[in-house]
Amino acid sequence: MEMILLFLYILVFPCIPGDARFYGSAFTTRGNKHFELYPSGHIIYRENSAVTGLTATKCNLFSGKWVHDVSYPLYNAAGCPYIGTQTKCRPNGRPDSDYEKWKWQPDGCTIPRFNSNDMLEKLRGKRLMFVGDSISRGQFESMVCLIQAGIPSNKKVMADKMPLATFKALDYNASVELFWAPFLVELETNKKGKTILHLDSIANNGKYWKEADILVFESSHWWDHTGGSSGKTWDIAMEGNKTYSSMDHMVAYKKALSTWANWANSHIDFKKSMVFFRTMAPRHTSCENEREPVQHTSAYNPPLPPQVPILKQVVSSTKLPVVLMDITRMSQLRKDAHPSKYNSPHPSGNGDCSHWCLSGVPDIWNELLYSLVGKGRH
């Protein structure tokens, strides 16, 4: 049976029929209504005094289909000054726009449309922090674009200085932040110019994270990057006093995730902070001239990146109250949503099938996050 990992103060999803309140356990009863939440975003609602086997609604937020909706996108990318040139596809010359007009329809339920005013209220007095790599930056930029349009220019501030970028909504005393940590654990360059990945060291990064109210972690892409003089993302891996000039990257990945889990268990106050971990956003081998999502999903079964099962194993085995945002499969269906050659103000033949156009798919990840953070007024 799948391990039940409920965040202690997460709100029961708006897709569930009946009352929605904050609950403090993995299984809760309200009258004769029973709710269970699983780390994959899987909800089971039961209505009867006997819980076993009486499933009225079964909803997995991350299993479903893409539905064309002309009311999307949720913002105008050209009007959002916070998007990097790499992912601003239409201003970069992409001629089509249908990739912006797809919403996610989960199986067995619906999610609320993103409401920027409501999200700002949820963030009042709080810090929302994304932690990860350039894909996390895309999700960060998406969230800022989603909430910033209605804020007067003198009431919002962006400070972007590595490793921390911070957008502040001053009237709400709220911030949306990005902490750049593609490995989560620490990477340094020594005096000889060698990059050292410290698989058991995270404290210098973690000091930025532990006071955030909502944390969205992600680490995947850099673990199988190649580059640098050695053809690797790092030259030396260290664990304690041991050094490794060669280590299988997925072995290293699991060690780093275990370091993160141990740190989270010791340093995050789960009564205060909501913690999410997003699975890997997939790369596609080709994406140029793709114009719509994969439609025949039953015949499209690409393998999962190896990072995904490793992440699920580590999160489930630690028993941490972390909600897994399992966006990999839903994003695999969106070959059409990458920058491709429209990844700079001067389009080239070099196709980018890893990052995501904004507006686009990261907005939907944030719409799911919005539904997970709390019930929208809609």
Name the region of 289 (left: φ>0; alpha: ψ -120 to 50; beta: rest). Answer: left
Q: Which amino acid, one-letter code, is at 254?
A: K
| 99 three-class SS | helix
For the chain, first and last CA: distance in Å?
A: 35
Backbone angles phi, psi at 46, to 5 degrees: -130, 145
Residue from 116, 355, 359, 371 carrying the catalytic annotation: 355
Number of H helices, E strands in the chain: 7, 16
| 178 three-class SS | strand
Strand-pair partners of 57: 45
Strand-pair partners of 66: 104
DSSP code for 283: P
- Examine the residue annotation and report whether 352 is marked as an active-site residue of this protein: yes
- Examine the residue annotation and report whether 220 is marked as an active-site residue of this protein: no
Residue from 134, 258, 316, 354 carrying the catalytic annotation: 134
Residue from 352, 359, 363, 371 carrying the catalytic annotation: 352
Distance CA(194)–CA(70), nearest Å, equals 51
Distance CA(295)–CA(300), nearest Å, equals 9
- Examine the residue annotation and report whether 338 is marked as an active-site residue of this protein: no
Residues labelled as active-site residues: 134, 352, 355
